[in-house]
Amino acid sequence: MHTDLLTLAALDAADMDTLFDRAIELKARHKKGINDQPLLGKSLGLVFDKHSTRTRLSFEVAAIQLGGVSIFISSKDTQMARNEPVMDTARVLSRYLDLIAIRTYSQAFLEEFADAADIPVINALTDMYHPCQVLSDLLTVIEKKGGYKGLKIAWLGDGNNMAHSWINAAAALGLNLTLACPEGYLPDSQILEPAVAKGGNITVVQDPYEAVRDADVVNTDVWASMGQESEQAEREKVFKPFQVNAGLMEKAAPDAIVMHCLPAHRGEEITEDVLEGPQSVVWDQTENKLHMHKAILDVLLKG
């Protein structure tokens, strides 16, 4: 397993399976009241540029439940806001912390920070990737479907950071992944093409009904991510046909599950009846961020 977790493209199937197995184990032990404390005496730093509810809280609680402490650091309150070089901040924080999770805009910033740091660095979201979210989503798929092999997974909406991390996961795990994205909002070809070349069974279409036909997992996200608020009105027009609704779900497998990484805009990318319906696993999905983040911290700290 790599020291850092910057993108799923750096992990292979064995790495991911190690994380899934550990998350399942830690979740089961926690439910039984067993308190594992591999982070006892250790500290997790959270350097965040972007707002967060689930990612911040799940990382903070993960550190606490594993016996460690977490320290939230808004980057605007650091000397980086006054143009201190990233490498200097990374080297300083490496002397204080044992792990660090960064939620920011630029993947290049994250990678520059990781290059200079002497501690494990975790991508808690960039504009390009959201690896921890997809790992926790796959944990939910494993729980609900008994595994991930042989399933058809559909992604509807923007070819965004979530789509990119699903593409990376599909390449490593051999997932059958179909993404339905409107023209002009396709996944980055520099991410898609290497994943396909690696052997990923990945298809990109413009027809959402084709994507969900016989799908076992239907997945979506908001149409305008953080930093794209000015595009909201235009995106609503473009993405309207990609809404996950009851009519669309009729094309999926009868026992298909519906996923959304949240926050959800009811009536936009997903309808209320589907989000709150019997096929939705959204609330189990969001809980699993906690258990996957515990596994990530544990495994990375062990090296």
CA-nearest of 261, 238, 258 to 248 is 258
d(CA 54, CA 62): 12
CA-nearest of 143, 147, 122 to 133 is 122
pTM comes to 0.96
DSSP 99-146: EEEEE-S-HHHHHHHHHH-SS-EEES--SS--HHHHHHHHHHHHHHHS
Instruction: Say what the pLDDT of residue 75 is.
Output: 80
* 229 secondary structure, DSSP code: G
Two tokens at 264?
A: 């959800």
Report domain extents, the chain.
Answer: 8-129+288-302, 131-285
Residues 160-177 as b/e (b if ≥16 CB within 10 A, e otherwise) read bbbbbbbbbbbbbbbbbb
Instruction: Say what the pLDDT of residue 69 is.
Output: 98
Residues 91-101 as b/e (b if ≥16 CB within 10 A, e otherwise) read eebbeebbbbb
Task: Judge whether 8-129+288-302 and 131-285 match in fold.
Answer: yes
CATH among 3.40.50.1370, 3.40.50.300, 3.40.50.2300, 3.40.50.1360 for 8-129+288-302: 3.40.50.1370
Two tokens at 48?
A: 């965040």
Nearest 5°: CA angle at 76, between 286 and 62? 30
Q: Quick count: other Cβ atoms within 10 Å of Cβ 258?
A: 23
Q: Quick count: other Cβ atoms within 10 Å of Cβ 120?
A: 24
CA-nearest of 158, 170, 166 to 196 is 170
Task: Report CA 238 to chain centroid distance, whole Å.
Answer: 24
d(CA 192, CA 206): 15
Domain 131-285 in CATH: superfamily? Answer: Aspartate/ornithine carbamoyltransferase (3.40.50.1370)
Two tokens at 209?
A: 């009904």
Q: Say which amino acid occupies 136.
A: S
Instruction: Say what the pLDDT of residue 45 is.
Output: 98
Task: Report CA 203 to chain centroid distance, whole Å.
Answer: 20
Instruction: Say what the pLDDT of residue 2 is.
Output: 64
CA-nearest of 233, 217, 228 to 177 is 217
Positions of the chain with pLDDT lower than 50, given as ranges: none
